[in-house]
Structure 1
């Protein structure tokens, strides 16, 4: 069996990949200089936790078949230097995923927003149908013990991220996966620390389209004007194009009903952005041989991916949602989804500037108009997050000018933010907490308890 060593084994995907390969019978070793939960417990349970933290070139021996390098590793990593000296094959994790999946039918779901949810929808339906498949997804999903699985089945479903493959290779992860069935959910500028202009960012999706295998399929959101223009710009006559749009639907008493091929079912999810994602998932499943009735029967029980409009608290008067939204298009879509589903409720929207892009002065203007459907809104940032990223202090006056939202509040301490939230209307209210972080450790349980008490 192959012998594989992982440099930076503690990464979210890296440790999951190591575990699934060990289950496959591969001989796995790994190193890291820091490992946090849940990776630490997961690796320990699998018997793969390194005995000591740090980098040890002696672990890199000539009998290794490959070395997989995570984002945490740098060019001068001593284990990586040793692997190069011994001419051992070196892979980023998406390269390795493709290498293990060369003979599979590969479904790759990309886009600036909605890719995790769309991937989760496809996986949910396939699992309900007892369809055998492997997968790679960037979140922990209900019904799936791990976020990566590699076995000997003939199909793999992958979330295709546009972020760099590793610290050594700045090409996007989804450029390495060569899909037979590709999805692009939409294009909206993000990751400006990697893609400094929108044109550079868009070009990554052009390249992704060029990577689709001959006789493959591209399923794309035709309601996205940028994406539609990109598809027309780069026509390929050797692949099939399937455009999708907002499917027929209706909202009755807070429940969304969707109709596809004249079949109507109720859903546990809501929001136009989720309906777009569902329509993309439908076309993936149909291309894999799942008929509309089976798809709709199974999608009814889908409750969403982790931290995607997740309900933290629900009383007769208040519902508190948590969402992973951080890019402007995601924040806007999430706010609109909640307001459209509950038009008579007061909507309090709270957003944390946490990513490099969102904390960048030049990117503030991209958030203009995203809070328009909120009744009250606040933006939060943690000063130590700026220090960690070596970024200058936030100019709050400029931030408010760029967002241009009347009544916008800005906070940089979690105590002030919590006080503001508790001062919002307490009756018939939705509170939406949006962040890829944790609001500097805001005590969600304390917040919930305050509302329950009130």
Structure 2
């Protein structure tokens, strides 16, 4: 096939482009800007556009498919040309479905944990040399690209995001996959720019449950009350398998998981991650991996990129970075670190960076989110608020939202970084939570600060 990508530089888009080229397709693409690591990865395979911008002349009638990225606008010149020529335009979830219609589709959804659960499943399957197709939203050790498509594999494992599919397809991505086997990790209101009420957000998961093929399987977190209600109410004729946090203990900063063969040390930690592990185990069992083999493989799983990722360590200090930004994720991650390192001081730093987190009306959702930390810090950029065209928020609003008198708030990146450099981090854990970089923090420098 001849396939052209509009906005090829996106995280998911460039991975799909690489996977389709690997499968033998003729792939081209355009973008107005491409950042690392997408840039280098595309360049290595000869897929980096020779110049940035949109070029309608790249769109010709002999293209078999055009794949439109979320980053492109609805009036994109290449999109307009494709429509004029009557070409088939797909969003990337739509195209993934087309590529997997004859396979058993395993879709991992939920407001939180879906990347980690998908990564756990792929780690276990890879450990036991079980070949599957996949798409996951984080870089995994031992995997070249995070999209893999073949003609021969029976299963495809897909991370099912609830965000919109493309500028011209306003359906959540996970509505398009029609899973044979699905998992939902939990529901916590997110993406308020698209789903302004919790009820509208909840409705997307109801539609997802109804989209599971008849006779299919739903694995779900029974500790989430809203999710449990949706599962109980569905009229879809599917098999339902609940899961919850397995029994575990923490001994000398090591998490021990209870298994039928006895206590087993695992590299991940925190209730939320062990809950994710329980869900991944069910999915792996439905894919033909028995319980004993699952435990053998999961013992070596160290985590997905940016999910409680250890970035520096000395005998006295440990530093983690985490993608957590929504209130429920921030609370779960902070609590997990304090439980694992109960005898150390936990310094938790949160950057309010996303549209939702910088929304004045949404801020109240963060109440108690940092309560498990010994020192709690919030950084946000007033410039980012302006760029997102949001109502200005004040430091007073931040204090009121988090309901913590000793909260430290920074609005200047240099001041925040000076705080980190000058802090006494002996016998401490530094937890950096953000989907950004605190206005220019070089995470590689942190190891120099703590040595």
Shared fold, TM over 0.5: yes
Q: How do residues 189-338 of structure 1 correspond to structure 2 at under 5 angstroms?
A: 189-236=189-236, 238-338=237-337
**Deviation (angstroms), 1:50:** 1.8
**Deviation (angstroms), 1:156:** 0.6
Is 1:321–1:431's contact at 8 Å kept on the other side of the alignment?
Answer: yes
Is 2:367–2:403's contact at 8 Å kept on the other side of the alignment?
Answer: yes
Q: Secondary structure of 2:333's partner?
A: helix
Distance change >3 Å, CA 260–CA 207, structure 1 → 2: farther
Is 2:360–2:391's contact at 8 Å kept on the other side of the alignment?
Answer: no
Q: Secondary structure of 1:171's partner?
A: strand
2: CA distance between counterparts of 1:293 and 1:93?
Answer: 36
Higher alpha-carbon deviation: 85-94 or 45-54: 45-54
Is 2:186–2:227's contact at 8 Å kept on the other side of the alignment?
Answer: yes
2:417 aligns with 418
**Deviation (angstroms), 1:264:** 3.5
**Deviation (angstroms), 1:384:** 2.5
Alignment partner of 1:93 is 2:92: yes
Alignment partner of 1:140 is 2:139: yes
**Deviation (angstroms), 1:308:** 1.0
2: CA distance between counterparts of 1:423 and 1:68?
Answer: 48
- Give deviations 1:425-454, integer Å, cap 9, x for gaps: 4321111110000011123344432221xx
1:26 aligns with 25
1:14 aligns with 13
- Give deviations 1:73-120, integer Å, cap 9, x for gaps: 222111111111111111000000000000111111010110000000
1:171 aligns with 171
1: CA distance between counterparts of 2:160 and 2:348?
Answer: 29
2:187 aligns with 187
Is 1:260–1:292's contact at 8 Å kept on the other side of the alignment?
Answer: no
1: CA distance between counterparts of 2:247 and 2:165?
Answer: 38
Is 1:115–1:159's contact at 8 Å kept on the other side of the alignment?
Answer: yes
Q: How do residues 20-59 of structure 1 correspond to structure 2 at under 5 angstroms?
A: 20-59=19-58
**Deviation (angstroms), 1:55:** 1.6
2:76 aligns with 77
Q: Secondary structure of 1:397's partner?
A: helix
**What is the CA RMSD across the aligned residues, in angstroms?**
1.3
Is 1:141–1:147's contact at 8 Å kept on the other side of the alignment?
Answer: yes
2:111 aligns with 112
Is 1:265–1:297's contact at 8 Å kept on the other side of the alignment?
Answer: no
**Deviation (angstroms), 1:303:** 0.2
Is 1:348–1:424's contact at 8 Å kept on the other side of the alignment?
Answer: no
- Give deviations 1:336-371, integer Å, cap 9, x for gaps: 001111111111110000000000000110000111
1: CA distance between counterparts of 2:333 and 2:361?
Answer: 23
1: CA distance between counterparts of 2:56 and 2:419?
Answer: 52
**Deviation (angstroms), 1:224:** 0.8
Higher alpha-carbon deviation: 299-308 or 2-11: 2-11
1:154 aligns with 154
> TM-score of the superposition, structure 2-length normalised?
0.97
2:350 aligns with 351
**Deviation (angstroms), 1:423:** 4.8
Q: Secondary structure of 1:144's partner?
A: coil
Distance change >3 Å, CA 446–CA 21, structure 1 → 2: closer
Question: Runs of 5+ in structure 1 lacking a partner?
Answer: none
2: CA distance between counterparts of 1:447 and 1:214?
Answer: 51
> TM-score of the superposition, structure 1-length normalised?
0.97
- Give deviations 1:176-195, integer Å, cap 9, x for gaps: 11111101000000111111
Distance change >3 Å, CA 154–CA 263, structure 1 → 2: farther
Alignment partner of 1:441 is 2:440: yes
Is 2:309–2:322's contact at 8 Å kept on the other side of the alignment?
Answer: yes
- Give deviations 1:191-246, integer Å, cap 9, x for gaps: 1111101010111100110110111100000011111112112243x211000001
Q: How many residues align?
A: 450
1: CA distance between counterparts of 2:313 and 2:43?
Answer: 36
**Deviation (angstroms), 1:419:** 2.9
**Deviation (angstroms), 1:262:** 4.9
Question: Runs of 5+ in structure 2 lacking a partner?
Answer: none
2:120 aligns with 121
Q: Secondary structure of 2:164's partner?
A: coil
